[in-house]
Structure 1
């Protein structure tokens, strides 16, 4: 990431511990990192390395045990729960492995659901752009059960984009898709970064998925242990196989 780029999300000295006493598990250990605005970052690491915890703390879905998280100029620790809920609804988009669509709603209604919950009217021109970008213009009246898995994930991406969020967070967004469909979704995410300068932070276990990112950051045992810029899938896989050889620091 360009060191001069404005940070969309910044975590500073973030630690997260679950449980207490002898049963305590430290998921993150003093992690500090800035996700640049208008960039695509993939977060990788072995199972249990803390990557999903980092995503959840960065997105305001979970509070760190110590340290601070900033979304733009907003310190998430200073927000009450209702304020944090509004921030997640208005300034953050989410795309998960499970599409989390409402089966009783049409594609259009699913896309517009965040705005409806916020009591906001849609920007029709932006909605049109988003729908065209994700290739759903001919599917707006369909319901999720009438769509393929890839189309359902495109609905989820459109829903994440419709509020014009500062950051879109993806937690294994291609994990439930076959290879070809997953590649289509990754090209779409890459496109919204390149076309709209959207900021995307994606947790993945797949080196091919990670290769679509501008930067791949690696975690091990709750610590950041390095990064690669615009790597190939083979380079990512090689680094994943040798994380223990890396020194601390990113």
Structure 2
């Protein structure tokens, strides 16, 4: 057990997990409040298409996925403007395109499919120095943006029309939030996998919404819950040789169940 916990690959995994444990719930709070939880799955599918193209062309896979995710975030905002009364259409359209592109690239490069599987289900133990640098840069960028525009995002999340009337640049803020989401998703898929990344965005927020009594406390508690799940999930996965991404998500679900039972007992 001690050999695993003190190994270099585990320390890199822990560092990457802790960084994503900060950014995912930070962005997730605003997505959940705006009823855009499914955007995580959409951008994850698009990121996988980028990763697959990266393997196919020999380009850095995580970088290719990041580019695809950011491009998709611009497309989502463009479609949201075109279908104002049916905003969820933008998410459905981009998700379909992402799945289609990923399938196409899979068939073109059958030799690398095993490598792409790591991005589908998470391969946090394979994080290298370049991956950690990318995750670190994204973390600093996301935290800085959230701090700078915290009040604006707060108002946008609860009442977009009021934010527009008050003179806030709603279009720019919407695009900025979507781009930040794309950056977080594209860096998180190697840690928990594209099929599970949405859980890291939403479940910590779901738990904090049940316990916190203010918006700021909700944000802080969501990050704390995510970090507990990341640390606990990695330790459990390392000791018992389990899939770390799945272990983190299952621990989050267990925490949510305990919270729900506790709230029901109190009420």
Q: Which has the higher contact order (CA 8 A, sep 6+)?
A: 2
Q: Same fold (TM over 0.5)?
A: no
TM-score range, shorter chain: under 0.3
Q: TM-score, normalised by structure 1?
A: 0.26
Q: Which has the higher strand share?
A: 1
Q: TM-score, normalised by structure 2?
A: 0.25
